[in-house]
Structure 1
């Protein structure tokens, strides 16, 4: 099973860019759901013709989290302000209430509804209903939501981003003359285990005898548990740490900063942060993908019924960058990402240990 880096991070950040991207591989729905309305494909961005453009954002997480979900609304707000559009944000939504909240936005005559994570995919069942006639829909689909004619989505895969992240961690270990890294995450869920597997494979591509100490704290946002896990890993001799967490990410990184242990980000670009310092930014936040969709939307070219898959090494995001690269570190990871994107490196086979 292929997991999405962003779908994974969406689950991480739910309780708790940087680039205006372009590109991506686009696919179109081969079938469509029957419904009482026809999906809008014309008249973007003011699809209802009322003389204004209103974008409704639905998020299961906190859009002031200084990370994943905030990137989604921050980029939307930047583009909206530049185009004199209005953004109405509903955050911390319960997935069980997604359909009702979507209907409410439709009744407010929004032009586009943007869903920040596939957890809220049930909101899409409102798309064919009369009150949502003509509304365009965008979904941060992660690993993918079953495509219909009513929405467009962005997708990516966890193996690409996390293998590259692990490779960067391996480069840090090599620089330090070390062999042990730490991976701290929340509940022992399938995507978190897959992310760890991909991270380890990337790390061992650089340091073949590298060891990954993995800790599942049971909670993506519990800072106390995360810091306890870090201290335990530190006692075991880790020299690099990846806090694959939500609200507890910075708590771990601040501990790592104090200990002189490099840390990597789980999704956003934090290289400019002078308070909580990261050695590497592993970028797969939804804001960059949404920004690209909004650019197309403003041009009237955002096609409903299609999916865009973002490929590392081909598109601007996902991406991995060293905040202060030493020697050939950045050029080396750039080449790895290009090889993944061109399929010269079969990343799935590498992660599965068959390469």
Structure 2
């Protein structure tokens, strides 16, 4: 065996070993023999206080709801380069595979062609190429980001707000644009600072971006980050500013957070599992967002005034009616 072939073999073995250690079987003690097999890929950390944790919360809720009717295999914390191998692992053993995050979409579409009898659901999936065994659920982050921007403008004392996104892809950029537009809707003179780190999990870059925004006067920050959120938290604590959290309502758990946008990541995980268990799962693109109700999309100011709540409700209604038009994403 040549040295180059040996290196490649070791590399493949290392990936397989990593996937084996990352994979977790989550099952109830009395597992039904005919249980529906669910595979779920959570690319980041299930305790990131963001998108990934919301997805995991949805999985836990689905397990409570369905009990021994489902058997779950989860893989988390996978590098982008290992995503296809992780999905192959899940697709070979399960009836439904869920990719938590739009960053799984390209790999899901590739692997789904190899496993036509396996169903795939993408939480955060966008419009694009379609396959008869793939469902894409759009959380419509840009839509709720507009409302979050309005909330930020209401809460800002300095008249300046900021946004930090991870990867500079259309859905994340569109959310940033709408956050800025929402802030300006409330205060046309507001200063808006927008930054991207290129990585959802880079703590140092997120902290640097937040500190740069604070230096320009921003005192309320919004984000689409995973573990990178830790950097935003560090900067806000050091400088005495505040954060609008994403994905899940955790009001009262941390005084650093003054509001939360709900983007229903966990709700979509629950939806996918419920659909496949009931036999009503369908392929294709499905938008969620405000039209699907408060579990799918909402905006909460922690301890908000009646006037603030009324204004946010008015904005949500105007988005739904088309009076306020927002970008896709």
Do both proteins adopt the same fold according to a TM-score greater than 0.5, normalized to the shorter chain?
yes
Distance 1:99 1:282, change over 3 A: same
Q: 2:263 matched to which residue of 1?
A: 284
How many residues of Structure 1 are paired with residues of Structure 2 in the alignment? 293
Q: Which residue of 1 aligns with 2:293?
A: 315
Q: Deviations over 1:119-171 (max 9, x none)?
A: 33333444454xx4643221224323422211222114343122111111112
> Per-residue CA shift, 1:163-205, capped at 9, x if unaligned?
11111111213xx3x4212223446555544333211111011
Tell me, in whole angstroms, the C-alpha distance in 2 between the residues paired with 1:232 and 1:125: 39
3-state SS, counterpart of residue 303 of structure 2: coil
Equivalences for 1:74-89 in 2 at 5 Å? Answer: 74-83=57-66, 84=68, 85-89=70-74
Q: Show structure 1 runs of 5+ residues with no match.
A: 1-48, 350-355
The answer to whether the aligner puts 1:234 opposite 2:219 as a matched pair is no
TM-score by length of 2: 0.77
- Normalized per residue, the structure richer in helix is 2
- The question of 1:53 aligning with 2:31 is answered no
Matched, 1:200 2:180: yes
User: d(CA) in 1 for partners of 2:311 and 2:113?
Assistant: 48
Q: Which has the higher strand share?
A: 2
- Give 3-state SS (helix, strand or coil) of 2:122's partner: strand
2:164 is the counterpart of 1:184? yes
Pick aligned residue for 1:153 from 108, 130, 136: 136
Is 1:314–1:342's contact at 8 Å kept on the other side of the alignment? no
- Please say if residues 37 and 72 of structure 2, whose CA atoms lie closer than 8 Å, have aligned partners that are also in contact: yes
- Partners of 2:301 and 2:138 in 1: CA distance: 24
**Which residues of 2 match residues 1-355 of structure 1 at below 5 A?**
51-83=34-66, 84=68, 85-108=70-93, 110-121=94-105, 122-127=107-112, 129=114, 132=115, 134-173=117-156, 176=157, 178-186=158-166, 190-257=170-237, 259-274=239-254, 277-303=256-282, 305-312=283-290, 314-316=292-294, 317-348=296-327
Deviation, structure 1 residue 285: 4.6
Q: Distance in 1 between matches of 2:306 and 2:238?
A: 25
Q: 1:97 to 1:306 in 2, by over 3 A?
A: same
Offset of residue 326 of structure 1 = 2.0
- Judge conservation of contact 1:57–1:73 (CA < 8 Å) in 2: no
RMSD, aligned α-carbons: 2.9
Q: Secondary structure of the equivalent of 2:164?
A: strand
Q: Deviations over 1:77-111 (max 9, x none)?
A: 32124322221011233445444433433433x22
Judged with a 3 Å threshold, the aligned counterparts in structure 2 of structure 1 residues 184 and 86 are, in CA distance, closer, same or farther, namely same
Moved more, 56-65 or 316-325: 56-65
TM-score (norm 1): 0.72
Q: Give structure 2 stretches of 5+ with no counterpart.
A: 1-31
**1:115 counterpart SS class:** strand
Classify 1:115/1:224 alpha carbon distance in 2 versus 1 (closer, same or farther; 3 Å). closer
Counterpart contact for 2:40–2:98, Cα < 8 Å: yes
